[in-house]
Chain A
């Protein structure tokens, strides 16, 4: 067993919350630049230029990229040989969120009593934490702040097996078209196919962590990603939905085996602030 101090986890989470909200990944900035070179709409080009400038201002001036600094989604890959000491794991994570969102001047966007009083927790806790137990003695932590505008556009389709590949394409493209300008295009479209209802949503969410431009190692899924990207960019929505040829920067798909009766498809749309930062302890 290898010991990891809870305080070390708190510190790591706090730093990742700030970094994820201020520093857009190089892969995303590169995707803006690549899109700018091919975007057909003048207004779309204008939007892309401003998104590049926005990332630059955020980095240099210490502003969050977006005022919606999200629900704090935390993915853990916890080695089964790790022993967390000096506090409980989830408590340490929420302490890190509290610290990062307060010290970093990030917006506190989490409310309790969701359908009634909607009381703000004032420190963005609790985080939404997904834990995977893996072999080894390391702890990999990823912080992915997720904004409300894009998360509200999530779709889950319990398709039938007969719907097949075309059924997946139709469902995903329709989800993006119906979301329109709401999730802040150009978006990253993350798709989970298979599993059951909650598994499809989870693998779709986790697919956002892949670097933009990287294809799924399974050639069949890689091909589907490419076709979906072409079709989504043919919808005409464009940057910010103002019309154009760059509706999505990329499509990331993951899949999981499913029941003989089912073919779940989940679509999780990530806004152009495709934020995540990770560390391995």
Chain B
């Protein structure tokens, strides 16, 4: 299935855990240190560094771009470290998150409540994913280096739906489908 970012409630409602999705459009990159700053800024009543309404945030910290390249390797980081910040951002309009690894119960509840979606990209496929990024620009916190906030333009960016608004969770469903009980 193909979707365009930013996302609407209708886009999110169509997505179910296990769906393979190709994304095109704009997404924003933020990981640990940037999340801390964004949430602190919101707490002080300041504007976030990018419009949150409908936005997709990609949990990632790229390697430096070589001359002539748009970006370096650009695979997802572990999403769980952003769990304490994610519900605040969803309450402010964030619709999509891309990372890898399980989310907390609170995040899954917020996904249902605020009509958002959690995708996984292939962890460790940094060279491959970089080929799908057509433009990259640092738009906030450049002093954070690899943890700065980037605006990306992507095409045919491959992800799979992990947590949907209906309570589906691919990590749980996939594991249960292939688990085998062995004799001790």
Contacts and interface: CB of A to CB of B under 8 A. Distances in A.
A271 B123 CA distance: 9
A65 B73 CA distance: 7
Interface in A3-53: 40-41, 43, 46-47, 50-51, 53
Chain B: number of interface residues, binned into ranges: 35 or more
Interface stretch (A92-100, A130-138, A177-185, A261-269): A177-185
B184 A41 contact: no
Interface in B156-184: 158, 160, 170-171, 173-182, 184
A58 B127 contact: yes
Interface in A203-246: 230-231, 234-238, 240-245
A241 B66 CA distance: 31
B126 A67 contact: yes
A240 B179 contact: no
Contacts of A61: 127
Contact of A67 (B20, B61, B120): B61
A64 B65 contact: no
A150 to B, nearest CB: 9
A256 interface: no
Interface residues of A, number: 54
A160 interface: no
B122 A238 contact: no
Contact of B127 (A64, A108, A148): A64
Interface of B: 18, 20, 33, 60-66, 69, 72-75, 77-78, 80, 100-102, 120, 122-128, 130-131, 144-146, 158, 160, 170-171, 173-182, 184
14 contacts: A41-B178, A54-B124, A54-B128, A55-B127, A63-B63, A65-B73, A106-B64, A107-B63, A166-B184, A181-B171, A231-B182, A235-B179, A243-B176, A244-B174
